[in-house]
Amino acid sequence: MQVQALGLVQERAVEWAPAQEAELALAQEAELALAQEAEWALAREAEWVLAQEAELALVQELAQAPGPVLEYSE
């Protein structure tokens, strides 16, 4: 009886192995996609920060410029 049960367990393990490998591959692809999404989000945030810094530098430069007072609005 135990030998039959062991044989059945081994058969099931062989049957399930491809499905488990496919599931692992899908999980790894999802993890990679999430990592890329996070990387892109950081890049967009860095781009936004650089744009804000450039805008601030321009406003400061305009404030130091001689001549009539300029009105700044967003």
Domain ranges, ordered by start, for the chain: 1-54
Torsion of CA 60, 63, 64, 68, to 10 degrees: 160
- pLDDT given at position 60: 92
Q: How far apart are CA 72 and CA 63, in angstroms?
A: 10
Q: Tens digits of per-residue pLDDT, 14-60?
A: 888 888 999 999 999 999 999 999 999 999 999 999 999 999 999 99
pTM exceeds 0.75: no
Q: Tens digits of per-residue pLDDT, 60-71?
A: 998 888 877 666
Residue linked to tokens 């805008």: 55
- pLDDT given at position 36: 97
